[in-house]
Amino acid sequence: MSEKTIPYKIYLNESEMPESWYNLRADMKEKPAPLLNPGTGQPLTAEELSAVFCEELVKQELDDTTKFIKIPEEIRNFYKMYRPSPLVRAYCLEDKLGTPAKIYYKFEGNNTSGSHKLNSAIAQAYYAKKQGLKGVTTETGAGQWGTALSMACSYLELDCKVYMVKVSYEQKPFRREVMRTYGASVVPSPSDTTEVGRKILAEHPGTNGSLGCAISEAVEAAAKDPGYRYVLGSVLNQVLLHQSVIGLETKTALDKYGIKPDIIIGCAGGGSNLGGLIAPFMGEKLRGEADYRIVAVEPASCPSFTRGTFAYDFCDTGMICPLAKMYTLGSSFMPSPNHAGGLRFHGMSSTLSQLYHDGYMEAVSVEQTEVFEAAEQFARIEGILPAPESSHAIKVAIDEALKCKETGEEKTIVFGLTGTGYFDLYAYEKYNDGEMSDEIPTDEQIAASVAKLPKV
Of 183 and 454, the one with the shorter C-beta distance to its own copies is: 183
Q: Which is nearer to its own copies, 134 or 180 (CB)?
A: 180
Closer to its own copies by CB, 41 or 173: give it.
Answer: 173
- Contact stretch for its own copies (CB under 8 A) within 19-27, 173-181, 285-293, 299-307: 173-181
110, 131, 185, 412: residue in contact with its own copies (rule CB under 8 A):
110
CB of 329 to its own copies, least distance (A): 31
Q: Which of 56, 428, 450, 453 binds its own copies (CB under 8 A)?
A: 428
What whole-number distance in Å separates Cα of residue 112 and Cα of residue 326?
A: 31
Distance of CA 337 to the CA centre of its chain: 18
Query: According to CB under 8 A, which one of 94, 217, 382, 400 is a site residue for its own copies?
Result: 382
Binding of residue 376 to its own copies (CB under 8 A)? yes
CA distance 53 to 40: 19
- Considering the rule CB under 8 A, would residue 423 count as an interface residue with its own copies? yes
Per CB under 8 A, the list member of 223, 286, 319, 425 interacting with its own copies is 425
CB of 386 to its own copies, least distance (A): 9
CB of 423 to its own copies, least distance (A): 7
Is 173 near its own copies (CB under 8 A)?
A: yes
Q: Where does this chain touch its own copies (CB under 8 A) — which range of 169-177, 243-251, 324-332, 448-456?
A: 169-177
User: Which residue, 177 or 358, has its beta carbon nearer to its own copies?
Assistant: 177
Within 134-153, which residues bind its own copies (CB under 8 A)?
151
- Choose which of 19, 41, 51, 81 interacts with its own copies (CB under 8 A): 81
The number of residues that bind its own copies (CB under 8 A) is 43
Question: Considering beta carbons, is residue 9 or 452 the nearer one to its own copies?
Answer: 9
Binding mask 5-24 for its own copies (x = CB under 8 A): --xxx-x-xx----------
Beta-carbon contacts of residue 452 (< 8 Å; ≥ 6 apart): 330, 331, 332
CB of 326 to its own copies, least distance (A): 32
Subset of residues 20 to 49 that bind its own copies, contact rule: CB under 8 A = none
Binding flag, residue 181, its own copies (CB under 8 A):
yes
Q: Looking at 426, 438, 440, 448, which residue binds its own copies (CB under 8 A)?
A: 426
The residues that touch its own copies, with contacts defined as CB under 8 A, are 7-9, 11, 13-14, 77, 80-82, 91-92, 110-112, 114, 151, 154-155, 173-174, 177-178, 180-183, 376, 379-385, 420, 422-423, 425-426, 428-429, 432
